[in-house]
Amino acid sequence: MTDNVTGSSPPARSTGRRRGDGIFRSMTTGSSLVIVVSIGLIGLFLLIQAVPSLQANTINFFTSAEWSTGDVGNLAFGIRDLLVVTVLSSLLALAIAMPIAMGIALFLTHYLPPKIAQPFAYVIDLLAAVPSIVFGLWGAKVLGPSLEPIATFLNENLSWIPLFSDGNVSLSGGGNIFTAGIVLAIMILPIITAVSREVFRQTPAMQIEGALALGATRWEMIRTTVLPFGRSGYIAGSMLGLGRALGETVAVLIILRSASSSSTFSFFDGGYTFASKIASAAPEFSEPLSTGAYIAAGLVLFVFTFAVNALARYIAGRGKAKAS
């Protein structure tokens, strides 16, 4: 009888444990589903709100630069300039931030002694905690005006390169993509640095020793081991930074001057990015059809950012598979 009781108790306990497993499993599955479902719903919301306006649009949504949504009976909006300004400012930010972030990450992981590197790394991370409105104010009031001579110099001497030719706003005050790109570069520096630092740090010690034992200098060691090992992580980190730059709103809104004519594909253009355009009109979102035009722009930004992030994940995942 006693035997019988003890014999039957383990299974009872194990079903109890299995129930616990089941609950835990549905909890974690549920939490992950929340993410997927909310992203899906956001996409769906954007699509549903955008479609009526897109149908009422009288000009080509992708190729025209005009934006007039005041008259609901005669909607005319196209995202060409928004796309140009968004892409130009983000790419400029990336071109500036990527080499600097790599330099900082290598310095922190392979040059500075760990004791000093840690506080230094905190300072970089602190940069990520500065509110973007502060970056915007600084860019518009301090950086922009002081960049004016440099911008003028570039414009005067390199105007044969289309990117440095005359823009559609005046150079004075620096309310152009050039300033915005530099501010964005500073804003995305922490994320790129943080990701790169992590992957550079993980370079296997035996690889590093192998290179040094062959008579590699520190830079040669970095070139033969750290950079190949960290390359995919560095690129993935840069893509995350690009995602941030594409979606940055308030700093760009404050910095960029509005332009009366359409984009000339120059760094000295003003205008709006997707995000700053939407934010600028937010107080007037009362008429569903005109609001839908902005939501359509938001949808394009959503898909664009999503694609950039997916690309980053793909590159990071591929690198991981290769390293193992």
Partner 1 sequence: MAKRFDIKDLNIYYGKFHAVSSVNLAVPPRNVTAFIGPSGCGKSTVLRSLNRMHEVAPGARVEGKVLLDGEDIYASTVDPVEVRRTIGMVFQRPNPFPTMSIRDNVVAGLKLAGVKNKKKLDEVAERSLRGANLWNEVKDRLDRPGGGLSGGQQQRLCIARAIAVQPDVLLMDEPCSALDPISTLAIEDLITELKKDFTIVIVTHNMQQAARVSDQTAFFNLLGVGQPGQLIEVDDTEKIFSNPSQKATEDYISGRFG
Binding site for partner 1 (CB under 8 A): 113, 204, 206-217, 220, 224-225, 228-229, 322-323
> At its nearest, how many Å lie between partner 1 and the CB of residue 319?
10
Structure tokens at 7: 């014999």
- Give the list of residues 6+ apart from residue 127 with CB closer than 8 angstroms, or none: 186, 187, 189, 190
Smallest separation (angstroms) from partner 1 to the CB of 217: 5
Q: Closest separation between CB of residue 112 and partner 1, Å?
A: 11
Judged by CB, which is closer to partner 1: 46, or 315?
315
- Select 233 or 292, whichever has its Cβ closest to partner 1: 233
Residue 317 β-bridge partners: none
Residue 36 or 206 with smaller CB distance to partner 1 = 206
Instruction: Judge contact between 78 and 69, C-beta under 8 A.
Output: no
Cβ-based nearer residue to partner 1, 226 or 240: 226
Task: Name the nearest CA neighbour of 227 among 209, 241, 207, 212.
Answer: 207
Q: How far is the CB of 313 from partner 1 (least distance, A)?
A: 21
Q: How remote is the C-alpha of 121 from its chain's centroid?
A: 20
**Which of 147/221 has CB closer to partner 1?**
221
Helical spans, DSSP H, in the chain: 2-56, 80-106, 114-129, 132-138, 144-157, 177-201, 205-213, 218-221, 227-247, 250-255, 274-281, 288-323
Residues forming a β-bridge with 67: 77
In whole angstroms, the minimum distance from the beta carbon of 322 to partner 1 comes to 8
